A and B are shown apart, each in its own frame.
Chain A
Amino acid sequence: MQKTIKLTIDNKVVKATEGENLLQVAKNNNIAIPNLCYHKKFSPTGACRLCIVKIKDQNGLIASCGVTAKEGMIVTAFDEELEEARKYLLDYLLSEHDETYDATYTDEFRELIFRYGLDKKENRYFPSIVKELAYPKDETSPILSYDAAKCIKCFRCIKACDEVQGKNVLSFTNRGIHSYIIGGFDKWGESECDGCGECIQLCPTGAIVEKPHREEIQLNGDIKKVRTTCPYCGVGCQLELFVQNGKILRSNGVDDVSPNYGRLCVKGRFGYDYVQHHERLTTPLIKKNGKFVEASWDEALDLIAQKFTEIREKYGKKALAGYASAKTTNEDNYLFMKFIRLVFGNNNVDYCTRLCHASTVTAMLRALGDGAGSNSIEDYEHSDYILVTGNNMIDTHPVTATFVKYAVQRKGAKIVIIDPKWTPLVKDAYIWLQPKLGTDVALLNGMIREIISNDLIDRSFIEKRVDGGMEAFEALKELTEKYTPEYTEKITGVPARLFTEAARIYATAKRPLIATGMGFSQQVTGTHNVFALINMMLITGQIGRVGAGLNPPRGQNNVQGVSDVGASPFTYPGYISVEDANNRRKVAEIWGVPFEELDGEKGLSTVEIMQAAYDGQVKGMYIMGENPMITDPNLNHTEESIKKLEFLVVQDIFHTETTPFADVILPATAFAESEGTYVNSDRRVLRVRKAVDPPGQARQDWEIVAEIARRMGKPLGNYKHESDIWNEIAKTAPIFGGISYDRLDHQGIQWPCPTPDHPGTATLFTEKFNTPNGLGKLHPVDHVEQSEKADIEYPFILNTGRILYQYHSSTMSRRNKSLTDFANEAYLLMHPDDVDRCGFKEGQMVRITSKRGEIATVVRRSSEVLKGELFMPFHYPEAPVNKLTRDELDPYSKIAPFKISAVRVEAL
């Protein structure tokens, strides 16, 4: 606990925390000392000198941003001399400043000009020389403009980019009065800038302003600001949307609240335009004679109710299934899950989690008792060792990556990366281990053996916290014995000296945090990979503390929440097995239905549902906000399956690659038109709030679901508002028991939160694991050769993944000009040696063929991949890489091996 101190500012006694910055102390106490270059998000600069104060027993006027508050300090913040000096400084700055103002940005400098009466020319001492200075403008960036004539060189942008985002893309050029801010070689658009816009949000003068909607926005006018949660990845950044005339025109990060503390990435800041895109679905559509025709809600809903009822009567209740959606709210998904279990009468409900983190969740549930991240996102900042495995977080979870980079760049933490492909985080890595695709278990077993043979295990942790104690450990030791450095190097291709060092420093680190990702989980051996990782964690006792644990970041905004609220074939809300009769009895009571109506047999998972459709067992399907025709593996097979369905309902915000196969398409609301909650990667329940009205007749998902249920004679309940649904979720899922909308108003709460007075849980497993006996469980696992290998016919191994500017099936992301300006083209990465060997040229069209299908795209030379391995982003429908992937599943978690497909590449 830090000490509280007292000091006096302008005769007022104020309290502060020891070590706090004097200017910040004044701000905290509403003493409005003017300042421009200071911001609490980064280190003080001392450039503008406006925050000058007098301090008793010290000489001169002192910039308070550079002073640490001390006990008993006596400070003068305002007197005639200080105010005169400030006015002089402002006047001086003003002389080289373009003072035109178009009300498209917040101008802190202009506010001070008015405060000091300098808006009146007669109060000024210095004439303007801004014309003579002929400052340049930089309009080369797709998302922002920089105007040096409006820049006061406070360097907030440089510090925002460097210290807050860890990118350091900005600098300044020239000297003295002629200096100005640059990106790249004085061309922002050709710099490394990835468009996060941190500099825009922190610029105090409007020198850096975003381009999108600048023609429309008028901050002097009628602007509504709505706080909500970002609809893209699972970080759950808090956004403030600026709404003018019913249109979203800007998105800023919300300062001071977790998980993002005001930070955003390019998608969070510029990716909202899809909401108001002209291609949004606005009315129900019914397929008649092969064509979609507009229909009324009544007609569409009645047809759906009738068809689903017919299928249930004709083929039995197991012939129906549904895909829930990681994009929509907990409330939407909870009702969808309730609909499947009550109205369809089975447990055939799943969603895309089966395609991304199912293996992680399965392994974590078995070994640790909870399938969610054990630590908070901001914990990365406090870790001294970060192991990033199969996780390209700078592209996939950019705001999480800012915390990781902070730990490395500012606090000296070490990052070890395990990835067959180069990722941008490698630049900050201490060690990069580049194993061959599909050899993770061998690599981790090799690391475990190194830890054991150096006696770096945590005996007391094993004895107290691990099921079977040292005996269980001995079994792991025996199994890993053969993974000598030489043997492991032979399998993985990673030099022994690298992974052995990585292992030793992991074991001896004080607060090591592991970030896993899709590269690790999307394999036939996905569950085994995570078991091996947890084995290493348990024998070293590196979990259950702030900064130590295992965090699998969730890919979509609400992947976590949809599992939490029970949209799963295996579990009810709160991860209670569908086979648990006591829980079903409890839920039946809450739902007011007979216990017998709730099916106690596990349902089908995502890919299994498609396979069952192929086999003719599933005849009718309800898909809410998913696009399996891009995201499911082995797409040709998926297409055959989906065509065999007798009746398909797709509920979405746009036409997708899946909607052509639907019989009825229903228009739903986008995030900014919805009320509800999401749960992010660190188990934080976050509010989603309506900012704009939905287009046309679009309705929020849960309302549509409830309406179909009612028309099928099984009403789901009487819900007037999303909070009514949430309150029911809190009753059925003990992990949410203490959370209500009231408590979420200012900031999210991390589950488990069992009671209304519980603060939520930032770090899991501090005292015990959540397994039945409270102990962690080791699962010794052996390396298994991949079933799909490169051979003469298919000589390359293809890996797939994501990029920063596109998002999953790109339905949303591609409808934002700001994002497509950065990246809008599919490609195949191939090692330069392979490109030369195959006789390809950069940018040449090639055909890629696997046993399951073929696609065409352009080839790019890249040493980011190993020889013999390839990489392709999966976002682009014109090159749907999942035509090539397998639907052979991990036996434990049913995840598909998106990361490993044998292919050949030929010139087109």
Chain B
Amino acid sequence: MIQETLKTFKPEQQNLLQILHALQDQHPQNYLTEQALEETARYLKLTKSSVFGVARYYSMFSTTPRGRYIIRICASPVCELLKVNTVIAHLEQILAIKTGETSSDGLFTLELSECLGQCQEAPSMMINDKVYNNLDANRIKTIINEYKQKNHD
């Protein structure tokens, strides 16, 4: 599986970030396994540490297992003014985790993010690639349930 993904890219060092994204996305636990990093290093003729250093530098990458859905909630000033903290608290409560952790069913990981560029409809968050705006307690509940439902089906 890793090899198949690698082969969709040319073995050029400039493709490193895209390869890491692709490998992370294809993993059900949304992270870069040591095997994925190792095969990437070999494919691009890089040393292990060069690949690991990049994977650990960018907050979008993880080298430890995460949930299927990564919730990135905006913690920048506009969202903060519009009480994103209550939204975070609410999320922590319904997922029964703290920021940075993964829910026990392995579905959600809660992370903070810099500005998502949605200030006109703040507070905002992303779940994987999808953006959600105008967040409040009810809307959060509906969204999370949708994902739970989707996964259940």
Contact = CB atoms under 8 A, between A and B. Distances in A.
Interface of A: 167-175, 182-186, 190-192, 427
Contacts of A183: 48-49
A173 B57 contact: yes
Nearest to B50: A171
B40 to A, nearest CB: 12
A600 B57 CA distance: 73
B57 A175 contact: yes
A41 B66 CA distance: 43
Contacts of B121: none
A338 B38 CA distance: 58
Contacts of A170: 49
Contact of A168 (B37, B50, B52, B63): B50
A427 B45 contact: yes
Contact of B53 (A173, A190, A427): A173
A173 B38 CA distance: 16
A174 B56 contact: yes
A171 B49 contact: yes
Interface in B37-87: 37-38, 45, 47-50, 52-53, 56-57, 63
B31 to A, nearest CB: 13
Interface string B6-29: 000000000000000000000000
Given A174-B57, A185-B37, A169 B47 contact: yes
Interface of B: 34, 37-38, 45, 47-50, 52-53, 56-57, 63
A185 B34 contact: yes
Most chain A CB neighbours (cut-off 10 Å) among B38, B47, B49, B63: B49
Nearest to A185: B52
Q: Which 8 A-B pairs have the closest CB atoms?
A: A171-B53, A171-B49, A173-B56, A184-B48, A185-B52, A182-B49, A171-B50, A169-B47
Contacts of B38: 185
A184 B57 contact: no
Nearest to B46: A168
Contacts of B49: 169-171, 182-185, 191
30 contacts: A167-B47, A168-B47, A169-B49, A171-B47, A171-B50, A171-B52, A172-B53, A173-B52, A173-B56, A173-B57, A174-B56, A174-B57, A175-B57, A182-B49, A182-B52, A182-B53, A184-B47, A184-B49, A184-B52, A185-B34, A185-B37, A185-B38, A185-B48, A185-B63, A186-B52, A190-B48, A191-B48, A191-B49, A192-B48, A427-B45
B102 to A, nearest CB: 20
Contacts of A168: 47, 50
A173 B56 CA distance: 6
A174 B47 CA distance: 17
Contacts of B53: 171-173, 182
A515 B38 CA distance: 32
A191 B56 CA distance: 16
Contacts of B52: 171, 173, 182, 184-186
Contacts of B57: 173-175
A173 B63 CA distance: 12
A183 B50 CA distance: 9
Nearest to B38: A185
A307 to B, nearest CB: 58
A182 B47 CA distance: 11
A170 B51 CA distance: 11
A184 B45 CA distance: 14
Contacts of A427: 45
Contacts of A175: 57
Given A169-B47, A185-B48, A191-B49, 12 more contacts: A167-B47, A168-B47, A168-B50, A170-B49, A171-B47, A171-B53, A173-B56, A173-B57, A182-B49, A183-B48, A185-B38, A186-B52
A395 B48 CA distance: 20
Nearest to A174: B56
A192 B37 contact: no
Contacts of B63: 185
Contacts of B56: 173-174
A806 B50 CA distance: 28
A173 B57 CA distance: 6
A261 to B, nearest CB: 23
A169 B51 CA distance: 11
B39 to A, nearest CB: 13
A141 to B, nearest CB: 13
A862 to B, nearest CB: 15
A173 B50 CA distance: 9
A706 B63 CA distance: 67
Most chain A CB neighbours (cut-off 10 Å) among B37, B38, B50, B52: B52
A173 B48 CA distance: 12
A173 B53 CA distance: 5
A175 B57 CA distance: 6
A157 to B, nearest CB: 11
Nearest to A186: B52
A169 B47 CA distance: 6
A192 B34 contact: no
A151 to B, nearest CB: 15
Contacts of A174: 56-57
A524 to B, nearest CB: 37
B45 to A, nearest CB: 6
A167 B48 CA distance: 11
Nearest to A173: B56
A271 B92 CA distance: 57
Contacts of B47: 167-169, 171, 184, 191-192
A186 B34 CA distance: 11
Contacts of A192: 47-48
A192 B46 CA distance: 11
A174 B63 CA distance: 12
A190 B50 CA distance: 14
Contacts of A191: 47-49
A167 B53 CA distance: 16
Contacts of A173: 52-53, 56-57
A191 B47 CA distance: 8
A172 B51 CA distance: 10
Nearest to B59: A175
A186 B64 CA distance: 13
Contacts of A186: 52
A172 B57 CA distance: 9
A171 B53 CA distance: 6
Contacts of B48: 183-185, 190-192
Most chain B CB neighbours (cut-off 10 Å) among A175, A182, A185, A190: A185
Contacts of B50: 168, 171
Nearest to B54: A171
Contacts of A185: 34, 37-38, 48-49, 52, 63
Most chain A CB neighbours (cut-off 10 Å) among B38, B47, B57: B47
B81 to A, nearest CB: 26
Nearest to A182: B49
A53 B133 CA distance: 51
A182 B49 CA distance: 6
A171 B56 CA distance: 11
A175 B53 CA distance: 10
Nearest to B56: A173
Contacts of A171: 47, 49-50, 52-53
